[in-house]
Structure 1
Amino acid sequence: MSNDSTSPIMRLLLSTQAPRCTPGRITRAAAPWLVFALSVIGVLISANPALALSVTQPSAATVIAAGDDYATQVLGNAWDMSDAVDIDTEESGLMSSQVFSAGIFSGATTGNGASIYPLFMGYSGSINLSRGANFPIATSHYRYVTIKLRVHSASQNVNLYFLLEPNSYSTGTYGASHYFPLVANQWTTVTIDMINDVYPAPTSGIQWTDQASITGLRIDPANGTGVSYDIDWIRLTAPATTAQKTSVQWTDSGYTGTYKIEALDIGSAPVSYTLAAAASGTSYLADTTFLAPGQYQIKVTRNGDSTTASSATFRINNPAQIALTSPSVRGEQAQNFASVVVGNSWGPPPSGGVFSATDFLSIVNFSNVSYTNPAGTFSARPTNNDPNLRLNQGGHTIDPTLYRSLCFTMQVSGARNVGLGSVARFFWSSNGTNLTTSGPIVLDTGLSEYCMADLATVQLDNTAGGTWLAGSKILLRLDPHEFPVSSACTSTPTPASCYDVQLNSVVLSPFAQANPGYTFTWNLADADNTSATLNLYLDPDNTPGNGNEIAIGSVAANNGNGQLVWPGSSAIQYGTYHVLVVADDGVNSVSQYAGGVIVIGARDGIFRNGFEN
C-alpha cells in the first residue's frame, strides 16, 4: 500500500505533462494547462477552511441567556404579542384594525400621532388598576427599548414617549425620543437608547433618569395617516454586563481589515440586526440582550470585499414565565364575606352561587331587571346617570380589618367613554348616613374583572363615611357607571344605546392566611423547557434580592399548574408578607411576586392593619 498522502486531484496535476515553454513566455499550448492548474488550486483553497472566512462561534449547541427584560422580569409576561395584554388597545390613539394573530400585533393609523401603549399609566384621580401604576419601570435599571416592526407605507418613522404619571400630558412630565426611519414592507429592528436618543427640553419635559420610575410607555409606530403596521415584539432591557454578552469567533486568512457583525433572526419574520459595524481581529463580544428569544445566526462580513460567512443556527433562551395564583390580588376568596358571614355569595364565584333579588337591599335607578340574562347574573337598564346597587349584608356588619380585598366582574354595553361615564364607584358607611365615595374605577370594554388588593389603600373622593379601616361597615354599595340616558336610548332603546349593565359577581375577601401552613399554587410556562426549579420566599417588602427574603420551599416544577404544600414554620415571625417565587430553567432566572399578600399566623388586629417586618 502506498504511503503517499497527496490528494488524487494533486497527484493528477503533478502527473500531467505540461507542454514545454520558453521561460518568460506562455505558449498557446501551455495556456490551457495553466488555466486548469489555477482552477484546481482555487478549488483546493476554497475547500480549506483555514484559508477562508468561517464563523466558529456560536455553534449549533449554543444556548444564550435572554437579556434582562422589563416585561419578562417585572410584568411576568413578555411583550411578544402572543396575547391581548401586551398592548392596551383600549387606550390606543388614532388607531383602527388592532388585531393579535400568530404572535404579531397589527393595526392601522387614522391620523398623525397615532399611538399604542405597551404600558399604560392609568387615569389621574382614579383607583389606578393599570399595569403602569402597579409595575413602574425603574429608570436606573432599564434603558433600551427595542422594537421589531414593519410598516406598509414609505417615508415612515417610529418614535416613543415615556410618561411619569397619569396626568403627564397636562403637566409636561414626559419625554420624547428621536425619530427612526423605517423601510416600507420590510421588517426592521430598532433600538432606542432612553438616555442618548431622547430630545432635550422643551420637546421633552423630563429625561429618562430624572425620576426613579416612570409608569407609561407609548410607541408611535408610524407618523402618517392610513399606515398599516405589524409589530413582532417589544423589549425594554437593562445594559448588558460583560458576562451577559455573546462570544462571536471566526477564522480568516489574508485579510487584515474590519468586519460587520449581524444577528440574523431566522424565524417567521426574518430580519438582520447590526451588532458591530467595524469589529477587528477574529473575535467580538456581541450584545445580544436587545434581541427576543428565538432562533438566530451570526453573520460576519468583511468590510473590505463583502465576503461573508454565517454561524450555525443557535438559540436565545425563552425564560420561564411564572404566575402565582395563590395567594393573589383576589385575597382568600374561599373565605369571602358573603359566603361565610351572610351565607349566600354575591354572584357565582367562587362557590358556585348565583345572583338573585335577595342579594340586594336596594336596586335604584334601574329598569328591566333580570337574573336570567345570562342565568345567575344581574342585568338591568339604568334610568339615569346614578344607578346603584346596595348589597345585602344579611344584617351583619363588615369587619374592615379582616375583609380587605374586593373584586367584581361586570360589563357595560355600548361604546366606552371614560369622560362621559365609563367609570364605577363603591360607597360605604359605618353609620348608614354618611357615605364615603371611592375614586372612579375606569371600565374596559366587555366583561372584565376588576380587583383592588387592599381597600385600605385605594383612592377616595371623600371620606364622609370614614376610611375603610375606620370602623365596621353597615353599608356597601356599587354604582356601575355614570352615563346619562341618551336620546338614542329614549327613541330606539338597545343594550348599547342604553348602556345596559351585567354584573356577574362581587367578592369581598380577607388576605390569604397561613395558620400555620398554606398551599401555594402557580402556573408555569416555558417554551424551551418542560420544567424549571422554583424557589419560594416570604418577603416583608417587594424588592427582590435585597437580602431579607425568607426561604420557605424549593421544588422542580413542570409546565402547567402546580403547588407547594407548606407546613408553616415557628421560626417565622407572625405578620403580613409578600410572596416571591424565583423560576430558574438552567439558563435564565425570573422573579415574580404574588398579586396579594399573605398573613402568617392568626388573624388579629395587630397583623390585619399593617405589615410586620
Structure 2
Amino acid sequence: MSIKLHYLYILFFLGCSLSNQLVVAQGCDDYAARQLGNRWDMAESIDVDAYYPRHIQYMSNIMFSGGKVSFDTSSTAAEMRLLSTVLWSSQPTLGAGNFGQLHPINTTRYNKLAIRLRLNNPNTLRVKAYAGLSYAHYILTTKLPLSAGWNTLVIDLNSTPISYANGSTSSWADSPKTGLTILPTSTSPGHVEVDWVRLYRDGNCDNPTTDLSPLFNFIEPGPDGGRAVIASNFDTPNDVIETQHLSQADIIPHCTVGQTTGDFLYGLSSSNDPIVWTMFPSRPGSKTIDTNVYKIASWRLMLVHPVVDVDAGSVMRIICKSGDSYNESDDIVALPDNGFAGNNWGSYYADITKLQKETGGPTCTGIIDGIRIDPHEFSTPLGFYLDFFHLKALDTANRKFTIAYSVSDDKPLAGTTIDLYYTTSNKPENGTLITAGLPAGSNTRTYTWDTSSVAEGTYYIYAIVNDGTNSVPRISPRPVVIDHNYSDDTAPPEMAIKTPLNNEGFVNQLNVSGYAYDDIDLALVEILVDGALIDSFVPSELDLTARKLHPNWVEASNAGFSKSYDLSSLPDGAHTLKVVATDTGGNSSVSEISVNKGPGLTQTVPEITPPDCSTLPAGMLTPEINRVWRRGRGLEAKIRGFGWIAGCTVSVFSGTTKDTQSDLLGSFNITAEDAQINETRFNIRSLPALPSEIKPYLRAEITCSDYTLSTAPKKLRLRKGRATYEKWLKKARRKFAYGKFQKKKKRRKKKRRRRR
C-alpha cells in the first residue's frame, strides 16, 4: 500500500511560489470524466450517490458549496457513496445517479484513487468496492491515517490487499467493480469537507498542476429520441386518458413546482400504487403503436417525499397493453436529477423494448394499444407531479442531421479539438470518421452531419476530444437511424427574444428570455454577444405565448427560457445580442438585436413567475364554485380557479340534482391574464337573461382554446329561516318583478318632468 501526502500540494495552498520546473502540466486519465461525463469535483449533489436512507443515515448537514461538499458524521460506519452498485441484474436503473452496472470500473485500467479532504480531528479512512450483480463488497483491510486539516491521500489499489466482507481475500484487478464508497471517519465521528475524488490510470491526477481531462456530453442524438407519437404535456385534461388509485388528480396549468415552470399533472395516491394511462383503447386519442419504431419513453417526475427510499417505494413501472395482455416492467429506481435529495424533479429515459418484466422477458414488444406509468410504490398516500410523458422514435435522418454537444475543460478551450465518428456498436471504437479537428472553442456547439451518402442503418455517434494532453472518448446515449426514404424536417424552429427589447440598456447583468421550439425536435439554443458564444442550452420552461401558438407540438409546454449573464467585462456602448435555434434536421432560426451597456441604464423586467403550486391549499388546484347566495333581486356566485388565461370563457349551468346541471344560465369571458388564483364574482342579473326558473344546483365550465375544466356542482345557499327553496324562489321573483315596476315608474316621472 502506498500512502502519499503531497507536499507540493500543501505548499501550493500555503501560497508559496513554485519553480517553473514543478508546474509542468501532466495528464489525468480520470474514470469519472471519461465514463460519467462529470468529475467527482463535489460541485453538485449528483457527485454523491444514494438511493436508500441508510446510505446517508450517519451523515447530517450535507452541503454543497464552492466546489466542495461538507457533512457531519455520527458513526464510524458513515459512507460517502460515489458509484452505486447494481440493484437488479435484469433492470437498468434510471435517473441521474452514478450506477456501476451502466459504467463498470475497468480495474485493469484505473488503479489509483486520490482524495482531497479536510477533517476536524485526526482520523482514518477506508474504501469499499462492490463487484458483480450482488451486494457483496470488498473492504480495504487497513485504515488509512488522516491528520486534522487538509489531506491529499493517494492509494495504489493494485498494491492494496483487499478482502470480501466474508473474510476471503482478493485483488483490485480481479474483476470490474460496480460500486465505490468512502468511509472518511473510520476511527471517530467528526466534520468532513471533501474537495475532490479521482479514480485514475497511472499518472498524476493528485498534482495541483494536473491538466484534467475535458468534459464532453452529447445533447443530440440525445436520450429522448426524435419524432413523437405520444406527447402528453399535461396542459389539458385530454393528456390523461385514465387514472386509477388516486384520491386526487388535477391538471395544473401555468405554475411553478420545485423551481420549474410548466403545466403539470398532480396526483395523490390512495393506498394502492398510482396509475396514469396516457393511451388506452376506447378512450379519446386511442391508437395502436408499433414499438419497433416508437420505443423511447421519456418523462419528468417529482415525488413529494423528503428523501429517495427504494425500500419504501421510490420506484416506478412502465406497463404496456396489447389486447388482453398487460406486461408490467420490473421496478425502475426513481432518482431525481440532483441525486439523493427528495422533493426534486427527475428526468427519466427508457427504451421500452429493453425493459424487463419482473418474471423475465420484455415488457413492450410489437404492436401495443395502451401504455401507462405507475409513478411510485409507496404504501401510504403520497403526492407526485408529472411534467410530461413522451413516446418517440429514435432520431432519424435522410440527408443531414444536427449533432449537438456540450464541452468544457479546466483551462481555456483554445487548442482543444473534437473528432466525430459513427459506428454500428455502442462502443467508441472502430468507427468511420465524420469530421476531424473541430475547434472546441468555436462559437457554436453544433455540427450538421451530411448523411446523404451514408449507408442506411442504425449508428451511434462518438467523439474523441483532445486538449493536447488528454484524449477522451464519449459515445452518444442513443443511435441515429439513417433512412433514405425518410422525409427530412425542412421547417426551421420557431423562436423569439422577449427580453431585452431592441436598443434596450443594461448595466452589468443582462437578462435574456424568450422561447424556441420545433415541430419535430429542437437540438440547441445558442446565445452570442458580439459574435462570441456565451451559453448554449435546451429550453425547458413554460412560455404561454409558445404554447398558444402551437399547443399540439411536443415541445409546446417546455419552449421557454430565462437566463441572466454577467457582462461586466464588456465595455460600455452598443453590443449585438444574437440567439440561434437549431433543430435536428439542420434548420436554424436567428434573432438579433442591439443592446446598450452603461451606468444608469435599465432593462425591461422579465415576465412574472407564476405562483408555486406546491403551496396551494387542498381544493385550489381545479376551479370550483366557492359560494352561491342570494344578493338583492338576483343570485351572486364566486368561482375560484387557478391559472386562467385571457380568451377563456366561463359558462354557468343549473340543475335540480347533483348529477345533472344542463340549463345554461349565461356565459362571460375572461379578459385579463392572471397567473395568480382567480376569484371571479358574477351576478345572475348581469347575465343575458334571468331564467324563468333557477334550479338549486349550479356548475361552471371554464373553456379555453385547447381544454375545458368543469367545477363540481354547488347547491344554492338559502337565507337562514327559509324552509324551502320554492319559498325563496317565489320571493326572489316577486322582488325582481317589483323592481322592474319601480324602474318603469321612475322613467315615467322623468318623462313628465321633461314635458313640463
Are 2:345 and 1:448 equivalent residues in the alignment? yes
Q: Contact conserved, 1:198 with 1:204, CA < 8 A, in 2?
A: no
Show the 5 A alignment for 1:500-511.
500-511=383-394
Show the 5 A alignment for 1:43-82.
58=21, 63-82=24-43
Per residue, is there more strand in 1 or in 2?
A: 2
Q: Contact conserved, 2:154 with 2:206, CA < 8 A, in 1?
A: no
Q: Which residue, out of 470, 476, 479, partners 1:597?
A: 479
Give the 3-state SS of the residue equivalent to 2:265 in structure 1.
strand
Q: Which residue pairs with 1:144 in the alignment? A: 112
Show the 5 A alignment for 1:82-101.
82-90=43-51, 92-93=55-56, 94-101=58-65
Q: Contact conserved, 2:162 with 2:169, CA < 8 A, in 1?
A: no
Q: Which residue pairs with 1:182 in the alignment? A: 146
Are 2:232 and 1:346 equivalent residues in the alignment? yes
Give the 3-state SS of the residue equivalent to 2:101 in structure 1.
helix
Q: Which residue pairs with 1:517 in the alignment? A: 400
Q: Which residue pairs with 1:483 in the alignment? A: 378
Distance 2:421 2:183 in 1: 40
Q: Which residue, out of 162, 174, 194, partners 1:210?
A: 174
Distance 1:435 1:216, change over 3 A: same
Give the 3-state SS of the residue equivalent to 1:521 in structure 2.
strand
**Structure 1 residues 409-468: Cα deviation after superposition (integer angstroms, max 9, x where no partner):** 11111233211211111111211x22111111112323333433422222321469x642
Q: Which residue pairs with 1:258 in the alignment? A: none
Give the 3-state SS of the residue equivalent to 2:159 in structure 1.
coil
Letter in 1 for 2:26: A
Distance 2:220 2:442 in 1: 17
Distance 1:55 1:149, change over 3 A: closer
Are 2:272 and 1:385 equivalent residues in the alignment? yes
Q: CA deviation at 1:535?
A: 0.8
| Structure 2 gap ranges (5+) | 1-16, 256-261, 336-341, 487-756
Q: Which residue pairs with 1:102 in the alignment? A: 66
Q: CA deviation at 1:210?
A: 1.9
Q: Which residue, out of 223, 229, 233, partners 2:186?
A: 223
Letter in 1 for 2:128: Y
- TM value normalised by structure 1: 0.68
Superposition CA RMSD, Å: 2.5
Q: CA deviation at 1:149?
A: 0.9
Q: Contact conserved, 2:124 with 2:146, CA < 8 A, in 1?
A: yes
Q: Which residue pairs with 1:246 in the alignment? A: none
Distance 1:462 1:559, change over 3 A: farther
Letter in 2 for 1:425: R
Distance 1:389 1:175, change over 3 A: same
Letter in 1 for 2:377: E
Q: Which residue pairs with 1:474 in the alignment? A: 369
Q: Which residue, out of 113, 128, 151, partners 1:161?
A: 128
Distance 1:140 1:327 in 2: 31
Distance 1:73 1:560 in 2: 24
Q: Which residue pairs with 1:488 in the alignment? A: none
**Structure 1 residues 177-199: Cα deviation after superposition (integer angstroms, max 9, x where no partner):** 52101112x21111122222133
Show the 5 A alignment for 1:428-467.
428-431=320-323, 433-444=324-335, 445-462=342-359, 467=363
Letter in 1 for 2:105: I
Q: Which residue pairs with 1:50 in the alignment? A: none
Q: CA deviation at 1:562?
A: 0.6
* Deviates most, 99-108 or 130-139: 130-139
Letter in 2 for 1:80: D
Letter in 1 for 2:93: N
Q: Which residue, out of 116, 119, 140, partners 2:83?
A: 119
Q: Contact conserved, 2:394 with 2:478, CA < 8 A, in 1?
A: yes
Distance 1:592 1:385, change over 3 A: same
Distance 1:95 1:67, change over 3 A: same
| Structure 1 gap ranges (5+) | 1-53, 241-288, 295-314, 339-344, 348-353, 486-497, 605-613
Q: CA deviation at 1:175?
A: 4.2
Distance 1:441 1:225, change over 3 A: farther
Distance 1:346 1:183 in 2: 55
Q: Which residue pairs with 2:706 in the alignment? A: none
Give the 3-state SS of the residue equivalent to 1:367 in structure 2.
strand
Distance 1:157 1:189 in 2: 13
Q: CA deviation at 1:327?
A: 0.5
Letter in 1 for 2:107: T
Q: Contact conserved, 1:536 with 1:553, CA < 8 A, in 2?
A: yes
Q: CA deviation at 1:358?
A: 1.1
**Structure 1 residues 473-500: Cα deviation after superposition (integer angstroms, max 9, x where no partner):** 1010111111123xxxxxxxxxxxx421
- TM value normalised by structure 2: 0.55
Distance 1:560 1:409 in 2: 31
* Deviates most, 229-238 or 583-592: 583-592
Give the 3-state SS of the residue equivalent to 1:558 in structure 2.
coil
Distance 1:448 1:206 in 2: 40
Show the 5 A alignment for 1:274-313.
289-291=204-206, 294=208
Aligned-pair identity (%)? 25
Q: CA deviation at 1:559?
A: 6.8
Q: CA deviation at 1:590?
A: 1.8
Between the two structures, name the one with larger relative contact order (CA 8 Å, sep ≥ 6). Answer: 1
Q: CA deviation at 1:127?
A: 3.4
**Structure 1 residues 352-397: Cα deviation after superposition (integer angstroms, max 9, x where no partner):** xx43221122111112222127462100211122210111361211
Distance 1:356 1:174, change over 3 A: farther
Q: CA deviation at 1:158?
A: 0.7
Letter in 2 for 1:417: D
Are 2:421 and 1:537 equivalent residues in the alignment? yes
